[in-house]
């Protein structure tokens, strides 16, 4: 099916259920793909932009929407099939807690920069096999992949998408397209950012790996920011 996104406020990904390859949505999304659409919305009452997620699966040329829990179950089932077939974890997938006998294995599947699906690989999904017995040899042969999923802690640098957000320091609006820096914070389940003007921030308190998004800046802006970060 074709999924047409509104270029400024929407973007998204789909996961191929057999290969677990993840693609950015550019119109055509194949049957049975798992779909994640992200929609940027400005909420007047909290003076913040939030990203709302829509989840679904493509069935009979339609997007069947579902909540995150239900789609996570479908992805878990597909993930178990992948593991049985390939004797490996799907790409972008990590074991997120210790494995115990008879307990489902909890895996984290990373999509894009900020989204994680928590998958529960049960005995049933593995056709009666124990998740620990199936996954222990996979973990043993690869790099140590025990990984604890964390909330986003990096600040984000970007060009202001609109002129609506207010700087949390000087309390004036941040002009559209100006470089701004955002502190991650969570509103309910949604990752949001508290924005600051470039000049309202003490850049010297950051290390370069604490900031996401430098790669999207133009060279001149990037090198200016990198210089500010280097003055420590």
**Cβ 169 to Zn ion shortest distance, Å:** 5
**Which residues sit opposite 8 in a β-bridge?**
none
Q: What is the DSSP letter of 69?
A: H
| Nearest residue relative to Zn ion (C-beta) | 167
DSSP 189-211: TEEEEEEEEGGGS-GGG--GGGE
**Cβ 216 to Zn ion shortest distance, Å:** 21
How many angstroms separate the CA atoms of 28 and 1, rounded? Answer: 6
The piece of 42-50, 99-107, 159-167, 222-230 that touches Zn ion (CB under 5 A) is 159-167
The reply on whether position 173 binds Zn ion by CB under 5 A is no
Q: Is 41 exposed, middle or buried (0-12, 13-18, 19+ CB in 10 A)?
A: exposed
DSSP 31-63: TT-EEEEEEEEEEGGGTEEEEEEEEEEEETTEE
C-alpha distances (whole Å) from 110 to each of 49, 91, 107 are 23, 9, 10
Residue with tokens 């990904």: 13
The reply on whether position 47 binds Zn ion by CB under 5 A is no
The reply on whether position 200 binds Zn ion by CB under 5 A is yes
The reply on whether position 180 binds Zn ion by CB under 5 A is no
The reply on whether position 178 binds Zn ion by CB under 5 A is no
The reply on whether position 170 binds Zn ion by CB under 5 A is yes
The whole-angstrom distance between residue 152's C-alpha and the CA centroid of its chain comes to: 9
**Which residues sit opposite 105 in a β-bridge?**
121
DSSP 3-state of 5: coil
The piece of 9-17, 77-85, 160-168, 180-188 that touches Zn ion (CB under 5 A) is 160-168
The reply on whether position 169 binds Zn ion by CB under 5 A is yes
**Cβ 182 to Zn ion shortest distance, Å:** 13
The reply on whether position 167 binds Zn ion by CB under 5 A is yes
How many angstroms separate the CA atoms of 75 and 22, rounded? Answer: 13
**Cβ 171 to Zn ion shortest distance, Å:** 7
The reply on whether position 168 binds Zn ion by CB under 5 A is no
Residue number, 127 or 199, with CB nearest to Zn ion: 199
Residue number, 154 or 169, with CB nearest to Zn ion: 169
Residue number, 25 or 181, with CB nearest to Zn ion: 181
The reply on whether position 197 binds Zn ion by CB under 5 A is yes
Residue number, 108 or 174, with CB nearest to Zn ion: 174
Residues contributing to the site for Zn ion (CB under 5 A)? 167, 169-170, 197, 200
């Amino acid at each position: 099916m074709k999924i047409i996104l509104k270029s400024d406020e929407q973007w998204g990904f789909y996961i191929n259920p057999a290969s677990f390859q993840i693609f950015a949505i550019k119109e055509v999304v194949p049957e049975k793909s798992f779909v994640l659409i992200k929609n940027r919305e400005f909420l007047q009452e909290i003076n913040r932009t939030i990203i709302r997620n829509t989840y679904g699966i493509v069935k009979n040329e339609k997007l069947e929407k579902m909540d995150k829990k239900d789609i996570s179950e479908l992805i878990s089932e597909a993930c178990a099939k992948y593991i049985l077939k390939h004797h490996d974890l799907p790409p972008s997938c990590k074991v997120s807690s210790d494995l115990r006998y008879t307990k489902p294995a909890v895996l984290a599947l990373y999509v894009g920069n900020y989204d994680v699906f928590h998958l529960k690989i049960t005995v049933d999904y593995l056709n009666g096999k124990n998740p620990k017995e199936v996954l222990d040899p996979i973990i043993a042969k690869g790099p140590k992949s025990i990984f604890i999923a964390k909330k986003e802690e990096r600040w984000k640098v970007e060009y202001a998408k609109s002129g609506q957000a207010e700087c949390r320091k000087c309390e004036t609006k941040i002009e559209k397209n100006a470089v701004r820096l955002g502190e991650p914070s969570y509103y309910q389940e949604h990752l949001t950012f508290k924005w600051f003007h470039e000049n309202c921030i003490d850049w010297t308190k950051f290390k370069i790996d604490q900031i996401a998004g430098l790669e999207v800046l133009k060279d001149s802006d990037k090198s200016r920011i990198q210089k500010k970060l280097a003055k420590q």
